[in-house]
């Protein structure tokens, strides 16, 4: 089957056409600056990558460009749209309504819309992407794969915030967690790599990218995760603060006369390692800065790694044991320094990193010593492939 995977942001649309039989990417690309001006970058594997500036007033127009790029006689990948068997859509927030991926129906669309206020920047864009695909590919089955779904197995003690219970009852304020597709994909792979039935494993997945989250996976189920009601919570990130004392909001508001919205924007866009270092949100720049003696780059890296380490300790305690840890996403896959410092001095928990093996970048490899009780692995994530697999499973049922 050929599955088109669509990941719509507010002004962007990423896509991959995947052959589900071989799991190979046939073509991929990105529409950017939708609603501003518009730019398409497309590559069919084995052919030249190209970029075109093209007016994309909305996502409908962007989807049309994507389909035209796929159909292009020269640089495209398919001869007819009928070759696309199904479309898988990444949806950020499924609230408590979706614990699994689902085939998209009118009822599903309405239920996703009801989750809009939980993810006001993302869900509306996801819905626009679905409608645009439906308009251009009528009759093609579509599947919604939710970032939050994998975490719906968390027990109430892990997802409930200690604020008046009415806020949960009335507004569904609770921990939801994100990156679920990645945590699910990587935990399954990690269990395979350590040669165990996932039902009998206690795993920690560290998804460390621009956005970062850590999940405790017990018996294949998410039992706790670091992100919360929104993806602002948990670890410090590229530009997001992660967990802070909630009273800081009022404190800054009082000192600087800023509104809650302004401060939330600062916590989302000007904080994290970017705000700490004053240099960059990109960990490559922080590594370089630290090597040049920039102490705030050193501090940003230390704060980040210390936070990762504390989650590892906390989640091992939460599960009562630990079999293996996976590092994944941009930083988890490519940053030996972060992996080493985050797991330093954890021999007492049975975690020992092999510093030579840890130099690996972007490849699946065990990085713990043979004597380490807890196996530590680099496991590259592949959210698009995970979405394609879910899509095939649902449409062939
Ligand atoms: P996103 O959450 O936007 O998908 P990524 O998972 O791509 O982000 O993570 C971005 C981070 O990963 C950056 O801080 C960057 O330093 C790091 N990163 C990505 N690729 C590499 C690489 N090849 N080498 C070193 N660091 C990388």
State residue 258 phi and psi, 5-degree precision: -95, 155
Is the minimum distance from the CB of 210 to ligand 1 under 6 angstroms?
yes
SS3 label, residue 40: strand
User: Length of the chain in residues, anyone?
Assistant: 397
| Tokens standing for residue 371 | 């004597």
Residue 33 backbone class (left: φ over 0; alpha: ψ -120 to 50; beta: rest)? left
| Tokens standing for residue 285 | 């720049």
pLDDT at 121: 80
Q: Which sign does the torsion angle of CA 246, 251, 254, 258 carry?
A: negative
Is the minimum distance from the CB of 301 to ligand 1 under 6 angstroms?
no
| Tokens standing for residue 242 | 């992660």
Query: Under a CB-based contact definition with an 8 Å cutoff, are residues 328 and 206 in contact?
Result: yes
Q: How far apart are CA 336 and CA 6, in angstroms?
A: 31
Best residue for ligand 1 mutational test, from 182, 183, 209, 240 (most atoms within 8 Å of Cβ): 209
pLDDT at 114: 95
Q: How far apart are CA 52 and CA 30, in angstroms?
A: 11
Ligand 1, residue 362: give the atom nearest the CA: 23
Ligand 1, residue 281: give the atom nearest the CA: 14
Query: Which residue puts its alpha carbon closest to atom 13 of ligand 1?
Result: 282
Query: Under a CB-based contact definition with an 8 Å cutoff, are residues 193 and 379 in contact?
Result: yes
Per domain, the residue ranges of the chain are 2-146, 197-378
Is the minimum distance from the CB of 285 to ligand 1 under 6 angstroms?
no
State residue 103 phi and psi, 5-degree precision: -70, 135
Annotated catalytic residues are: 147
The predicted model scores a pTM of 0.95
pLDDT at 161: 98
For 91-109, the three-class secondary structure string (H helix, E strand, C coil) is ECCCCCCCCCCEECCHHHH
What is the CATH architecture assignment of 197-378?
2-Layer Sandwich (3.30)
Best residue for ligand 1 mutational test, from 147, 239, 284 (most atoms within 8 Å of Cβ): 284
Specify the CATH number of the domain 2-146. Answer: 3.30.420.40
Tens of pLDDT along the chain (397 residues) come to 999 999 998 788 999 999 999 999 999 999 999 989 999 999 999 999 999 999 999 999 999 999 999 999 999 999 999 999 999 999 999 999 999 999 999 999 999 999 998 888 889 989 999 999 999 999 999 999 999 999 999 999 999 999 999 999 999 999 999 999 999 999 999 999 999 999 999 999 999 999 999 999 999 999 999 999 999 999 999 999 999 999 999 999 999 999 999 999 999 999 999 999 999 999 999 999 999 999 999 999 999 999 999 999 999 999 999 999 999 999 999 999 999 999 999 999 999 999 999 999 999 999 999 999 999 999 999 999 999 999 999 999 8
Would you say 126 is a known binding-site residue?
no
Query: Under a CB-based contact definition with an 8 Å cutoff, are residues 326 and 378 in contact?
Result: yes
Q: How far apart are CA 42 and CA 47, in angstroms?
A: 10
Q: How far is the CA of 81 from the centre of ligand 1 (A)?
A: 33
How big is the CA angle at 32 (ends 26 and 36), to the nearest 5 degrees?
A: 150
Is the minimum distance from the CB of 283 to ligand 1 under 6 angstroms?
yes
Query: Under a CB-based contact definition with an 8 Å cutoff, are residues 5 and 58 in contact?
Result: no
Is the minimum distance from the CB of 335 to ligand 1 under 6 angstroms?
yes
Q: Who's near 332: CB < 8 A, 6+ residues apart? A: 206, 207, 208, 209, 326, 338, 339, 378
Q: How far apart are CA 236 and CA 98, in angstroms?
A: 27
State residue 182 phi and psi, 5-degree precision: -70, -45
Query: Under a CB-based contact definition with an 8 Å cutoff, are residues 23 and 16 in contact?
Result: no
Query: Under a CB-based contact definition with an 8 Å cutoff, are residues 222 and 344 in contact?
Result: no
pLDDT in tens, 99-151: 999 999 999 999 999 999 888 888 998 999 999 999 999 999 999 999 999 99
Cβ neighbour number for residue 212 with a 10 Å cutoff: 29
Query: Do 2-146 and 197-378 come out as alike in CATH topology?
Result: yes
Q: How far is the CA of 301 from the centre of ligand 1 (A)?
A: 14
Is the minimum distance from the CB of 85 to ligand 1 under 6 angstroms?
no
């Amino acid at each position: 089957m050929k599955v088109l995977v669509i990941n719509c942001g507010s002004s962007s649309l990423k896509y991959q056409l995947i052959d589900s039989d071989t799991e190979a990417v046939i073509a991929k690309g990105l529409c950017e600056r939708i609603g501003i001006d518009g730019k398409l970058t497309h590559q069919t594997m084995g052919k030249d990558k190209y970029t075109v500036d093209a007016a994309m007033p909305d996502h409908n127009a962007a989807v049309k460009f994507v389909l035209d790029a796929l159909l292009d006689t020269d640089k495209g990948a398919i001869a007819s749209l009928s070759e696309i068997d199904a479309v898988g859509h990444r949806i950020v927030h499924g609230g408590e309504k979706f614990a699994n991926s689902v085939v998209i129906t009118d009822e599903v669309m309405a239920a996703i819309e009801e989750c809009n206020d939980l993810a006001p920047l993302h869900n509306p864009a996801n819905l626009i992407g679905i409608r645009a695909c439906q308009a251009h590919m009528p009759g093609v089955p579509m599947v919604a794969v939710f970032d939050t779904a994998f975490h719906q197995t968390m027990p109430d003690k892990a997802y409930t915030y200690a604020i008046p219970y009415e806020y949960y009852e009335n507004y569904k304020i609770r921990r939801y967690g994100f990156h679920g597709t990645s945590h699910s994909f990587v935990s399954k792979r990690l269990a395979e790599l350590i040669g165990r039935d996932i039902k009998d494993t206690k795993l920690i997945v560290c998804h460390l990218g621009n956005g970062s989250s850590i999940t405790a996976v017990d018996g294949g189920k998410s039992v706790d995760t670091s992100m919360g009601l929104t993806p602002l919570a948990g670890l410090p990130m590229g530009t997001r603060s992660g967990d802070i004392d909630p009273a800081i909001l009022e404190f800054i508001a009082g000192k600087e006369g800023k509104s809650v919205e302004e401060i939330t924007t600062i916590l989302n866009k000007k904080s994290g390692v970017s705000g700490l270092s004053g240099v960059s949100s990109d960990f490559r720049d922080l590594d370089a800065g630290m090597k040049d003696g920039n102490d705030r780059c050193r501090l940003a890296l230390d704060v980040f790694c210390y936070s990762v380490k504390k989650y590892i300790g906390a989640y091992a305690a939460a599960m009562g044991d630990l079999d293996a840890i996976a590092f994944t996403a941009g930083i988890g896959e490519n940053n030996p320094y972060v992996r080493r410092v985050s797991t330093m001095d954890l021999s007492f928990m049975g975690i020992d990193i092999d510093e030579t093996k840890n130099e690996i970048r972007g490849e699946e490899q065990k990085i713990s010593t043979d004597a380490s009780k807890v196996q530590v692995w680099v496991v590259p994530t592949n959210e698009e492939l995970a979405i394609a697999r879910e899509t095939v499973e649902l449409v062939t049922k």
